[in-house]
Structure 1
């Protein structure tokens, strides 16, 4: 399969560039404070510059000060109306460490079941009802009619597994509100929310989740209600995975060079998910060991190599940079923590020592232009702009390379993750395998999201079995009492739906003295840092080729949108486009020049 689109020129092939400013602000289909500002070379079909901005200031780190630590999870849950339970869970992990409490095993299995349901819910509704629209028939017809014509005549390799005869039939099923699969996915999202509520009382702000465990009354009937819904989801995934494989593989074949869309250096971070209560005691001194027992392995991948799986090293490597952010630096202000509980030195730019000093000002893309700070990870030499791959890409990549997970339903092999889905009402058992891809790009971020839905379902089967073992043995306690210490330093690590999530807390005189939650969006949406290093959105968009068939006057920026959305940005809905009143910038520059204001 081939495309008639011209091959984008390399920078060295450019002469006189006619650059057009094109901006999308706000962007995505969730909350409304993310803007993408680009300069596009239509002659050479390339995005040559990108800036990611956020126009909203939240300030949670400021008003958490002085609060009772026991309220932290209820407050931080409200950071987000989509993944609030991830924040609540992470906060409880940090509190467990601060209070020195280990929840009963059953309580931890219930938390895992709740988090698994959240992954299934959120990935499903984002992938099928938000990201899927970018690949639906109506969108492809408007942006790449040649690709749609090819899709009409391309048989789907896995037709027998998902029921769609051609790739175009898959695209039609994704049409919003009218597509068969689009509507089916909406129904599935309802049942997954019910699964979460069974475990933690309310979605998205859990009402039965506490430090020390949960208030859920665990019964066999409760688990049966959860498993009934889970098995329907398992059956759904047997259709979804091969369908998306067919769709994404088609784009590679239909548009040679499409692997360059959203491609960036492989710099992936995962903080791990799903505790194993047999090993996890939430003590910092044991964090390396129990971190490696998580059912999603924490780790940092640099250029395809697994640098570490040590949560202590991961923690100490976190740096919060400013650069292009609307804040004053905190150099010279109080250091809350100079050494971690193991005696390791803690950097001034670590979240434990961060001060939030907002400095509102006019947006200047050559200087300060975003409320998002720039989290980086220090590997001993460089401050790396890690991304989360939208969450699933990093999770699967680190877990696959580490090879530590083997629970029957899931096995990490060193190069892949194998997922076994058991027999369901209408379909027999199915074996799936996610293999480490060649690229960290737009399509692979989306593909990983599909596979991680199956991963979460398979993990939930294991957690439900372990919970039932506890109930049948009469070990039904789900919460352990604790006392709040006068002084404590703690941290919590997990994976929000979109990727890495950490909460760092300092307690003094029984109150919160410092508290900093870092969800995945600051890592992904960060602006240029103090060294001029662009954030992952910016890096993935700028330099990517344009495959859209529309001319400049009718350009929709579909590949830019696909790239940003592949990271699953938790920043909102309602996309508007601004063309700078049609202003054209005629710029003459050499192949080595950049357009970053240097």
Structure 2
């Protein structure tokens, strides 16, 4: 359609829904095909969940069982964060062995989820069949381009890598599915059931620790490590090729570097879950928390991170809570707490018709306030923020992993058929589509290396006769608390207020609202919107056969909910194509 008052011809194109098991994401765009660029983007969510509403009045000890059902993919991340939250409220910390078991479970979850998403969903966006259809010239180059690390992963050309990523029939695609099964088994060894843990509680775990338990985990872990020794160089070759084959591709999905990481993997030697000590034990996490602005570390202090969180409205289907009760005016250290902090949020849904000039999403708009600006932090899908924050802080050094201040070095030991290998993730120039995807592969190796360390620590506890995995506790009448971790997709915090022994307010803030939020009250677009808006279009198809692959790669680089359907229309609601394949592939 021609936009009045301009010489550009803008075409409205939308993908709605882009869904995963929980939630419903829609991406609405205007594209200038003459300039080959996305001009506008709106991110919408059409589902209201309401956990913060029906948690009120519940027994706080039920919080992790209930909140794990927020998601059917990363429910254990919610359960873990809720348990951390409760530990603070109850003044309890697990015995060291209990904490190592929790860390092993979370490491397995990162390996499982990142693997299946990277290879069986994101990888399909770069596979032979997709590239053939959207960029025939790139496919021709791929056939003529040798893979620099062929001696490690076994694929002679970039085209061979792309073939290996073809869904269902590709060799690497199928190998990844096997790895996903194995890593899921690793999680179940530690926490009983995936994705809603059955042995995870405040104060520790109900898992029975034995040498056999950790040996069963370790044998699977070593097979996964062998797989990672192929996966890391394979993806480096693939992603580097796109920069070479399509000059300027670094601009696809690029946005200002505004990254948030809340840290993961507590060290039981230092973590007592007390708010008063949160700065210290937060910095001892094996993934270091941090806020990154324009590539620089602003803070790695969880107290400062907590106090800076603001929940804004603007384009969201909710009523404001300005006239509602403030649950918390000061934190346990005496610092003032803002009305728009999660502790004080009141969830008041207000359904209405979608209007892109006003309200158009069920997602609120979390921001981090630096004292002057409300920053639209993103997680980059999780791994890029985690690696960037850990690298800059330079605090992690456990033999298998070392943060240098500008990179993260990952050492993987000798496995059945491959020698010891060292990988180094270096802080990139950009926060863009390719680097978000690249970081996901490196973080799988990071999680595997961390798990090796956790297994060693757990076995050491057993050898010394320290078999306790749970600490008893009592629920206080009054408390305020918060839990911090990284869900697979990025930052996850749970904030709770207890009154008279019951939950008065419970606010879970996972990565989805941080990444998928709409324009806030100041007109600042959310990260999906910002990353897609102004992104160049490299796809060779015109409007009549447009797949939107550069847009889809960008959205998927944030690891949104699993795509289960895509609808596409042109102009005034006219449907031009409707595809039910997860990645808009040709017919299989």
After TM superposition, the score normalised by the length of structure 2 is 0.96
Give distance in 2, aligned partners of 1:325 and 1:56.
12
> Is there any run of 5+ residues in structure 2 with no aligned partner, and where?
576-588
Match of 1:159 among 139, 150, 158: 150
Give distance in 1, aligned partners of 2:159 and 2:544.
27
SS, match of residue 26 in structure 1: strand
Match of 1:346 among 333, 337, 344: 337
Alignment match, 2:377: 386
Alignment match, 1:168: 159
Match of 1:52 among 39, 43, 59: 43
Give distance in 1, aligned partners of 2:23 and 2:97.
39
- Equivalent pair of 1:493/1:503 in contact (CA under 8 Å): yes
SS, match of residue 288 in structure 2: coil
Alignment match, 1:457: 448
- Equivalent pair of 2:260/2:377 in contact (CA under 8 Å): yes
Instruction: Give 1:27 deviation, angstroms.
Output: 1.4
- Equivalent pair of 1:155/1:167 in contact (CA under 8 Å): yes
Instruction: Give 1:55 deviation, angstroms.
Output: 0.1
Give distance in 2, aligned partners of 1:286 and 1:29.
37
SS, match of residue 576 in structure 1: strand
Alignment match, 1:482: 473
Give distance in 1, aligned partners of 2:216 and 2:12.
53
Give distance in 1, aligned partners of 2:550 and 2:399.
39
- Equivalent pair of 2:261/2:491 in contact (CA under 8 Å): yes
Alignment match, 1:579: 570
Instruction: Give 1:570 deviation, angstroms.
Output: 2.4
Give distance in 2, aligned partners of 1:134 and 1:32.
21
Alignment match, 1:65: 56
- Equivalent pair of 1:33/1:571 in contact (CA under 8 Å): no
Give distance in 2, aligned partners of 1:303 and 1:581.
39
Match of 1:279 among 255, 270, 277: 270
Instruction: Give 1:375 deviation, angstroms.
Output: 0.3
Give distance in 1, aligned partners of 2:20 and 2:127.
15
CA offset digits 1:232-277 (Å, max 9, x no partner): 0000000000000000000000000000000000000000000000
Inter-CA distance 326–197: structure 2 relative to 1 (3 Å threshold): same
Match runs of 1:131-142 below 5 Å:
131-142=122-133
- Equivalent pair of 1:119/1:497 in contact (CA under 8 Å): yes
> Is there any run of 5+ residues in structure 1 with no aligned partner, and where?
1-13, 585-598
Alignment match, 2:392: 401
Alignment match, 1:545: 536
Give distance in 2, aligned partners of 1:28 and 1:55.
10
- Residue 171 of structure 2 is aligned to residue 195 of structure 1: no
SS, match of residue 36 in structure 1: strand
Instruction: Give 1:15 deviation, angstroms.
Output: 6.2
Match of 2:297 among 300, 303, 306: 306
Give distance in 2, aligned partners of 1:374 and 1:534.
9
Alignment match, 1:293: 284
Instruction: Give 1:420 deviation, angstroms.
Output: 0.1
Give distance in 2, aligned partners of 1:582 and 1:333.
40
Alignment match, 2:202: 211
SS, match of residue 516 in structure 1: strand
- Residue 100 of structure 2 is aligned to residue 98 of structure 1: no
Following TM superposition, the consecutive aligned residue runs of length 4 or more in structure 1 with deviations greater than 3 angstroms are 28-32, 580-584
Instruction: Give 1:32 deviation, angstroms.
Output: 5.9
- Equivalent pair of 1:29/1:130 in contact (CA under 8 Å): no
Instruction: Give 1:102 deviation, angstroms.
Output: 1.0
CA offset digits 1:368-411 (Å, max 9, x no partner): 00000000000111000000011000000000000000000000
- Equivalent pair of 1:352/1:514 in contact (CA under 8 Å): yes
Instruction: Give 1:580 deviation, angstroms.
Output: 3.2
Match of 1:78 among 60, 63, 69: 69
After TM superposition, the score normalised by the length of structure 1 is 0.95
- Equivalent pair of 2:76/2:196 in contact (CA under 8 Å): yes
Matched residues, number: 571
RMSD between aligned residues: 1.1
- Equivalent pair of 2:315/2:361 in contact (CA under 8 Å): yes
